[in-house]
Structure 1
Amino acid sequence: MDTETDPRAVARLRATAHPLRLRILSMLTAEAMSAAEVARALEITHANASYHLRVLHDIGELVVESEEKVRGGMAKRYRYDATLDVSPQRAGVDERIAYVRANAVEIERRMRDAAPGSSSSSDLEAWVPVEAWHRALDLLLEASHLLHAAARPAGTPDTVHISATSHAFAMNGGLTGPDARWVPSDTTTDPTIPEDAR
């Protein structure tokens, strides 16, 4: 690893390395929800939903979008903004592996609900020129931002229910450090990315 471990990145990966929390983050990309709404949507207890929301909020993965009075109390409505994510490569290998394992469990759950139709799957371990690697990372980031920005509440008419997960990382044995370091391209003027994802 060519950068020092960032304790904040480690803590965030540890907090998100849980299949249920990954589902919550996905749901809260499309709309802000309260603990009661998350509990109903995932068919879990209110206490369980509140606990997971609190963990994700305390680590900085969720923001409180609004608060509303409910039966004499206040209910927070949480939202996930994927553009605020701390880069996972700044965490340790053990935390990254735990996150990938949680992803694998969540992907398996989603795959059991896969609909027939278009899909894409890819796996590769290879040696490529630095320029091709950087371009691929730019495209993956662009796709991620596009899909997160376009996310709508569950059941919205004229939408397709999707699953999209990517893991791309440089491995040992080739160029590392400043010779291979990736800096995302400027997406602020890219017309293919919606303005709210720039």
Structure 2
Amino acid sequence: MDEPVQALRATAHPLRLQMLSLLTGAEMSAAEVARELGITHANASYHLRVLARAGEVEEAGEVRVRGGTAKRYRHPWRRGQSTEEPEDRQTRAIEVRAMTQELVRRWGSRRRGRAQLCDAELWVSDEVWAEALALVEQAAALVHEHAQPPRTEGTSKVALTIAAFGMES
């Protein structure tokens, strides 16, 4: 299986999407991921191995735990960004379904206050579309670059889910 398809299949699971979000702002062990997500250590380890095999997370050192060592992982989010449609459109559809499930979960735990939602299927000039995509990329980079470990003082938990794509006529 080629690398982009393997990465898409690895991320086409809501729990793994949550893990990638966690590992963007912090290096964490499987035990730490398990505690934060309320899952078993074995479950966290399994999903981290899937993500590691697909190249979606990388080892970020080790930590001593009760006389042993545990691997710590991080999500190198910039490397995982894709601008081209993969050959396997079915796998991309699976990823979109996982993203949708994750959006529903996140919406259920939103706090009251300001939110921005947009759903549009429009016709715009190529120049306007290029500008919109650049702004979306800028917003994604901003939150990823400033992500902090969970529950860091002075931070708020937020969600940013974006799907922007050109359509066939």
State TM-score, norm by structure 1. 0.80
**Aligned runs of 1:56-135 on 2, under 5 Å?**
56-87=51-82, 89-135=85-131
Distance (Å, rounded) in 1 between the aligned partners of 2:14 and 2:90? 17
Match for 1:19: what amino acid?
P
Task: Give the aligned partner of residue 22 of structure 1.
Answer: 17
State TM-score, norm by structure 2. 0.93
Alpha-carbon deviations, 1:40-83, whole Å to 9, x = none?
11111111100000110111101111112323432110001210
Q: Is the 8 A contact 1:13 1:91 kept in 2?
A: no
Runs of 4+ residues deviating >4 angstroms: none
1:38 and 2:1 matched: no
Q: Is the 8 A contact 2:133 2:164 kept in 1?
A: yes
How many percent of aligned residue pairs carry the same amino acid? 46
Larger C-alpha radius of gyration, 1 or 2?
1
Task: Give the aligned partner of residue 145 of structure 1.
Answer: 141
Distance (Å, rounded) in 2 between the aligned partners of 1:146 and 1:81? 15
Q: Is the 8 A contact 2:57 2:76 kept in 1?
A: yes
Q: How far has the Cα of 1:28 moved from its partner?
A: 0.6
Which runs of no fewer than 5 residues in structure 2 stay unpaired? none
Which runs of no fewer than 5 residues in structure 1 stay unpaired? 1-5, 174-198
Alpha-carbon deviations, 1:58-114, whole Å to 9, x = none?
111011111123234321100012101151622422111111111111111111111
Query: Residue 23 of structure 2 aligns to a residue in which SS?
Result: helix
Matched positions, count: 168
